[in-house]
A and B are shown apart, each in its own frame.
Chain A
Amino acid sequence: MAFESFNEFIAMGGHAPYVWAAWAATAGLLVGIVLHARAERRLLLRNLQRRVRRENRQGANPGGMAGVSHQTGGDRHDT
């Protein structure tokens, strides 16, 4: 341990504002980046799932709206 007490640790020998500002900015950005990546993935999956469900419904109903029938084979675009 480089410090005698918790208060000394927080004080950082008088350099508290500098040390904690640098560390807080770094930690905050890293956490924010992880949260963003998670939110990005969730949102994407939700949108894709909704789209696949919608297109499957349309695919199961071939006599449906003629105007969108060309989209119904969404899962057959390629191999």
Chain B
Amino acid sequence: MWAFINKLRSPKWFYAISARLQPVFWVAAAVLLLVGSVWGLAFAPADYQQGNSFRIIYVHVPAAFLAQSIFVSMAVAGLVYMVWKIKIADMAAAMMAPLGAAMTFVSLFSGAVWGVPTWGTWWMWDARLTSMLILLFLYLGVIALRGAFTSRDSASRAASVLAMVGVINIPIIKYSVDWWYTLHQPATFTITGRAAMPMEMWAPLLIMVLGFYSFFIALTLMRTRSEILRRESNKRWVRELIGEER
């Protein structure tokens, strides 16, 4: 176990193993997103109340899931970095933040666009909407904080702390629809209990969610590999590798 953890600490080992994992996740993301999009846009039945506007769910829900999962991943990576000084964790956290911010934006934007035909408004200071907006600001805060230090170590520690503190917003987002039931509907998927929609509707949603997660993993692997080269550019193994890499 410790041998494995020690391997995990080594950027060189991570660089090698991620080279093999990365294509798997890119292919999975491409296939899942393609199948999920065609199914969700053209084959899933229209909602009996919302008509075809409900097809926004297939980008809205996966983006919102990812927005929250990425923040939790960033907080966990921050903890791992602070406690065990594992640099890879910090590199991955740094590379995840912009995607998390983008996904938060996508969920807010698609939700606003969906709100117009469904609620008659694109924005309300509803608890779920507001806590998602706070998540966007937290992401921007983490990104800005990382850029605000000349010392990389200080930047990494500050960003880690903000991610670990900010993660308190995640349970608030999750339970906001139950605690303050105002506008946003409760969760579509629950681990316990039956799905609130027929299989022809939730199957493409599940595929899209898996596609978004694969995309996140593939992109984080790819960008973390770049970050390793950037930060470890004085190491002998990186210099030897540079000549061969494309």
Contacts and interface: CB of A to CB of B under 8 A. Distances in A.
Interface of A: 1-3, 9, 12-15, 18-19, 21-23, 25-26, 29-30, 33-34, 37, 40-41, 44-45, 48-49, 51-52, 74-79
A52 B239 CA distance: 7
Contacts of B243: 49, 52
Residue among B109, B113, B235 with most chain A CB within 10 A: B113
Contacts of A15: 51-53, 117
Q: State the main secondary structure of chain A at its contact with B.
A: helix
B59 interface: yes
Contacts, number: 104
B44 A19 contact: no
B110 interface: yes
Q: B interface, how many residues as a size bin?
A: 35 or more
Interface of B: 33, 37, 41-46, 51-53, 55-56, 59-60, 63, 98-99, 102, 105-106, 109-110, 113-114, 116-117, 215, 219, 222-223, 225-226, 229-230, 233-236, 238-240, 242-243, 245-246
The 8 closest A-B pairs by CB, nearest first: A22-B110, A15-B53, A26-B59, A12-B52, A13-B52, A22-B56, A75-B239, A13-B51
